[in-house]
Structure 1
Amino acid sequence: MTSNQPFQRGDVVKHPAPFKQPPRHRFFLILSEPSHPFHGQEYSVVALTSKQRPDAVEIEDNDWRFGGPSGDSYASPWYVFTIKHGDIVNAQGSLTDQKTDEIAKDAASYLGV
């Protein structure tokens, strides 16, 4: 069940993974800000994973403002997606502004910025 309050940049949320059958959930880092169209209804995100891959951004314990997984966590900045607020299952925690900005810059580089 999701919160009625909008999630914020840096929040990590659990949402159904696209293209997975049967539906499975994964964690996503919210990169969009309140200036994003439809903020509070949908969010621009990147996927998080427990698998270390080339070019993945490692998320260390001190990168979490609060919350966090019980194991290793990496952001996949090439996996940019939009998720709907109503499909978010729950929140996992929130990353620091510094780590969120680092991941956002990496994501932007894949978009040719």
Structure 2
Amino acid sequence: MQGQSLSAPTDYRIVPPDLLVFTTVNSKEEQHLKPESSNVFEALITSKEASLLLGIHWKTLERMARAQRVPAAKIGKSWIFRKSTLTQWLDEMLASNVAERNKRRL
């Protein structure tokens, strides 16, 4: 390996804990590494990100969170959500709405 110099990753970024991203000096390709442990928390999303997922205004979503109508947690002044929990909650809401409509037709 004479004449070649190895360099360490130089561009560290803050990313969700389940994904580590770095860029090497010699190449601009990003390499994604999954952690070895499966005990990593699922990334949390903000109320603005969650509102885009649900198709409602973020203030409406925060009102729903305060009223405990949607699964959420408040950390300091911010509401946080798990994408998987919101998706499951939405699926349950849609299923109950379909069941309710089918009941009315009978």
After TM superposition, the score normalised by the length of structure 1 is 0.28
Higher percent of residues as helix? 2
Higher percent of residues as strand? 1
Q: Which has the larger radius of gyration?
A: 2
Report 1 or 2 for greater relative contact order, CA contacts < 8 Å, sequence distance ≥ 6. 1
